[in-house]
């Protein structure tokens, strides 16, 4: 019998700083809920809006796998490894902070907001050499199928991280169903609805709802609205 953890969109932490409006699925910064610190190795899921021309000044990270997924607009990134890049919708960015890295993130545009997800995954190796990667995916490859965007393997589709974790995205036509088979026994899957309404393992979810599934070897996702979009994050449930 599978276990489920439901986080509806309206129950997330809400931090509105004007230039930054961030919704926190898990405890972060000034938002702390002892029942929502993490889902296994998934530590942070922030849904961020950054005003035109604004952003995060240079700040440090260490021993964390940081994944950024732009949803709208252009996000400019600079870091202490010498990278200076712009990520936009369709891109996936990963940074293994390891022994320590400093970076900044800014909305490159002066006339439109940028919206992106920032996700932190607890690594299975500490103090690795910091690393940066960025790729552009063909979003048509997630139409009515699962497109892998993160894995533990450098040779697989998407970016790779220091953890036995797999992320997928899908965009579904109304009434279309896809099946998700677990990649590694003992892992859990956190499902986050980016757009529309879906049913996941018989649980109905709306936009920005999240559902954690534990002890599921596989499950189905069915769209109830056109172009429903879903992010799936499979992660180890036990972290050392």
Q: What angle is formed at CA 160 by the lines to CA 156 and CA 165, rounded to 5 degrees?
A: 95
Superfamily name and number for 139-236: Jelly Rolls (2.60.120.10)
CA distance 163 to 61: 17
pTM over 0.85: yes
Q: What is the pLDDT of residues 166-187, one digit of tens each?
A: 999 999 999 999 999 999 999 9
Residue 203 tokens, joined: 């649980």
Share of the chain above pLDDT 70, in %: 99
pLDDT tier for residue 129 given thresholds of 50, 70 and 90? very high
Q: Mean pLDDT of all residues in the chain?
A: 96
CA distance 201 to 134: 32
CA distance 152 to 69: 17
Q: What is the pLDDT of residues 32-82, one digit of tens each?
A: 999 999 999 999 999 999 999 999 999 999 999 999 999 999 999 999 999
pLDDT tier for residue 164 given thresholds of 50, 70 and 90? very high
pLDDT tier for residue 240 given thresholds of 50, 70 and 90? low
What's the sign of the alpha-carbon dihedral 28, 33, 36, 40?
A: positive
Q: Any idea where the domains of the chain sit in the sequence?
A: 13-136, 139-236
pLDDT tier for residue 17 given thresholds of 50, 70 and 90? very high
Residue 225 tokens, joined: 């609205």
Q: Give the DSSP per-residue string, 22-82.
A: EEESS-BTTB--TT-S-BTTEEEEEEEEE-TT-EEEEEEE-S-EEEEEEEESEEEEEETTS
Question: Which pLDDT score, from 0 to 100, does residue 1 have?
Answer: 56
Contact 230, 211 (CB under 8 A): no
Question: Which pLDDT score, from 0 to 100, does residue 232 have?
Answer: 98
Domain 13-136 belongs in CATH node 2.60.120.10: yes
Question: Which pLDDT score, from 0 to 100, does residue 195 have?
Answer: 98
Q: What is the pLDDT of residues 96-120, one digit of tens each?
A: 999 999 999 999 999 999 999 999 9
Contact 231, 117 (CB under 8 A): yes
C-beta contacts of 54-60 below 8 A and 24+ residues apart: 54/19, 54/20, 54/106, 54/107, 55/104, 55/105, 55/106, 55/107, 56/20, 56/104, 56/105, 56/106, 57/104, 58/102, 58/103, 58/104, 59/102, 59/103, 59/104, 60/100, 60/101, 60/102
- Same CATH topology for 13-136 and 139-236: the answer is yes
Largest CA distance in the chain: 51
Question: Which pLDDT score, from 0 to 100, does residue 2 have?
Answer: 73
Question: Does residue 89 register a pLDDT over 90?
Answer: yes
Question: Does residue 239 register a pLDDT over 90?
Answer: no
Q: What is the pLDDT of residues 1-13, one digit of tens each?
A: 579 999 999 999 9
Question: Does residue 191 register a pLDDT over 80?
Answer: yes
Question: Does residue 212 register a pLDDT over 60?
Answer: yes
């Amino acid at each position: 019998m599978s276990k489920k953890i439901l986080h509806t969109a309206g129950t997330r932490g809400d931090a509105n700083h004007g230039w930054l409006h961030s919704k926190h699925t898990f405890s972060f910064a000034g938002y702390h809920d002892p029942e929502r610190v993490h889902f296994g190795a998934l530590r942070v899921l922030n849904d961020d809006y950054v005003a035109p021309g604004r952003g995060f000044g240079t700040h440090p990270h260490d021993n964390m796998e940081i994944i950024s997924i732009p949803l709208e607009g252009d996000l400019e990134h600079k870091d202490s490894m010498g990278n200076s890049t712009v990520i936009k919708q369709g891109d996936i960015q990963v940074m293994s902070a390891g022994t320590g890295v400093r970076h900044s993130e800014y909305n490159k545009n002066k006339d439109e907001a940028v919206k992106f997800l920032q996700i932190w995954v607890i690594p299975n190796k500490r103090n690795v050499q910091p690393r940066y990667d960025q790729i552009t995916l063909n979003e048509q490859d997630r139409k009515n199928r699962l497109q892998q965007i993160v894995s533990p393997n450098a040779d697989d589709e998407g970016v790779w991280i220091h953890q036995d974790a797999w992320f997928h995205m899908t965009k579904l036509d109304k009434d279309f169903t896809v099946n998700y088979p677990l990649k590694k026994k003992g892992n859990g899957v956190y499902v986050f609805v980016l757009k529309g309404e879906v049913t996941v393992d018989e649980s109905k979810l709306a936009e920005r709802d999240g559902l954690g599934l534990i002890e599921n070897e596989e499950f189905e996702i069915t769209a109830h609205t056109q172009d429903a979009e879903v992010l799936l994050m499979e992660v180890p449930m036990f972290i050392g």
